[in-house]
Amino acid sequence: MIKPKFIKIETTNRCNAQCIMCPHKTFNPKRLMDMPFETVKRLLDEATWKPTVQLSGFGEPTLYPQLVDAVKLCRKKGMPCRIYTNGMLMSPELTKKLVDAGLTWFIITVDGRDKETFEKIRVGLNFETVEYNIKEAWKICRNSKTTMKLGSVICKENKHDIKNIERYWRPYAHNYRAWIEIPLVHGRVPTSYKTCGARGWRPWTQLVVRANGNVPFCCIDVADEYPIMGNVHESKMLQIYNSPKFNELRRRVKEQRNMPEMCKLVCLR
Ligand SMILES: C[S@@+](CC[C@H](N)C(=O)[O-])C[C@H]1O[C@@H](n2cnc3c(N)ncnc32)[C@H](O)[C@@H]1O
Ligand code: SF4
C-alpha cells in the first residue's frame, strides 16, 4: 500500500487576490468553499502514518477560520505542517498564533520588491501591507521553531529584476527561493512537456484533497478538469490513493503511454 509522504489539504479555495499567473480566477464562483473543519479533523485522524500536512491548496489559507486549530491538531498528532500564503492577512497577531500553535514552516510568495511590480502580479493585494507583515513576521519567527520562507514566481513581469528581488527579501526569512512560472494560465507561457513518470514523483508521494473532498490524480489538476480519483466523503484517503483507478493512471504515466492529458500539458517539477 502506498502511503504518501505529503498530504495537501485544501482548507479553503477562496482567495483575496487574482494573481496574473494563477488559475484561481477562472474557478467557477459556485465551487468556492471552505472545507468543513469536521472533514479536516477526520482526514487528520485517518493519517496515522504521520505524513507532512500542507494546509493549503489553490486558495488563501489565512482566510480559513479554523487555520490555527488545524495547525494545533496536526502538531498534537505529531505531524509536521506547513502553509503557502500570499501574506496579505499574515498580521503579526496571526503569525504569532500560528507560531505558538507549532506551524513547522510557512512560505510567503512575494513577486516584487516595489509596489508597481508586486501589485501588477499579485492583483488585489497591497504591497505595503505585505511588506509590513513580512518584516514583523521575521521578528517573530527568527528565533522560533517555525521556519519562515520567502519565495517568488519568476514571470515576464519581474524576471528582469529577479536578482534584486532576491537581494531585497533574503534578509527577512530563514530562506528564499525563486521558481519559474508554470503554464497554468492559458496563453501566458508556453506549455512544457516533462513527465514526472520516470521519476515516480507527485502521484506517488503526494495526496491532494480539494476543499470539496475531491482527490485529483495530481495537484496540477487545479480545477478538477480530469477524472477525479475519488472523494473523501465517500471513501478513505488511502483507499482512493491505492485504488485500481489511481494505480492504472500511475502505470500509464510511468510507461509514458496513453498518459492523462494534464501530464502532457505541464508537469509541476
Ligand atoms: C496556488 S498558491 C496558494 C497559496 C497562497 N494563496 C499563495 O499565493 O501563496 C501556492 C503557490 O503557487 C504559486 N503559483 C501560483 N500560480 C503559479 C504558477 N503559474 N506557476 C508557479 N507557481 C504558481 C503561488 O505563488 C504560491 O507560491
Ligand atoms: S497565487 Fe495564491 S494568492 Fe494568488 S490568486 Fe492564486 S491562490 Fe490566490
Substitution candidate for ligand 2 out of 10, 11, 15 with most atoms within 8 A of CB:
15
Ligand 2: nearest atom to the Cα of 125: 3
- How far is the centre of ligand 2, averaged over its atoms, from the C-alpha of 239 (Å)? 30
CB atoms within 10 A of CB 221: 20
Q: For every one of its 269 residues, what pLDDT tens digit does the chain have, with 9 covering 90 and above?
A: 999 999 999 999 999 999 999 999 999 999 899 999 999 999 999 999 999 999 999 999 999 999 999 999 999 999 999 999 999 999 999 999 999 999 999 999 999 999 999 999 999 999 999 999 999 999 999 999 999 999 999 999 999 999 999 999 999 999 999 998 888 888 888 776 565 655 567 888 999 999 999 999 988 888 777 889 999 999 999 999 999 999 998 888 888 788 777 776 666 44
Whether the CB of 84 sits within 6 Å of ligand 1: yes
For the chain, the straight-line distance linking the first and the last C-alpha, in angstroms and rounded, comes to 24
At 226 the pLDDT is 80
Ligand 1 center–CA 237 separation, angstroms: 24
Q: Whose CA is nearest to atom 15 of ligand 1?
A: 22
**Residue bearing the CA closest to ligand 1, atom 27:** 109
- Count other C-beta atoms under 10 Å from residue 217's C-beta: 21
Q: Is the CB of 17 under 6 A from ligand 2?
A: yes
Cell (9 digits) for 98: 500560528
CA torsion, ordered 46, 73, 231, 266, to nearest 10 deg: -110
Which among 38, 21, 36 is positioned nearest to 156, based on CA atoms?
Answer: 21
* Pocket lining: 22 vs ligand 2, CB cutoff 6 Å: yes
- Would you say the CB of residue 184 lies under 6 angstroms from ligand 1? yes
pTM for the complete prediction?
A: 0.95
> How remote is the CA of residue 225 from the centroid of ligand 2, in Å?
19
> Which-ligand-closest: CA of 178?
1
Q: Whose C-alpha lies nearest to ligand 1, atom 9?
A: 85
> What's the pLDDT score for residue 268?
46
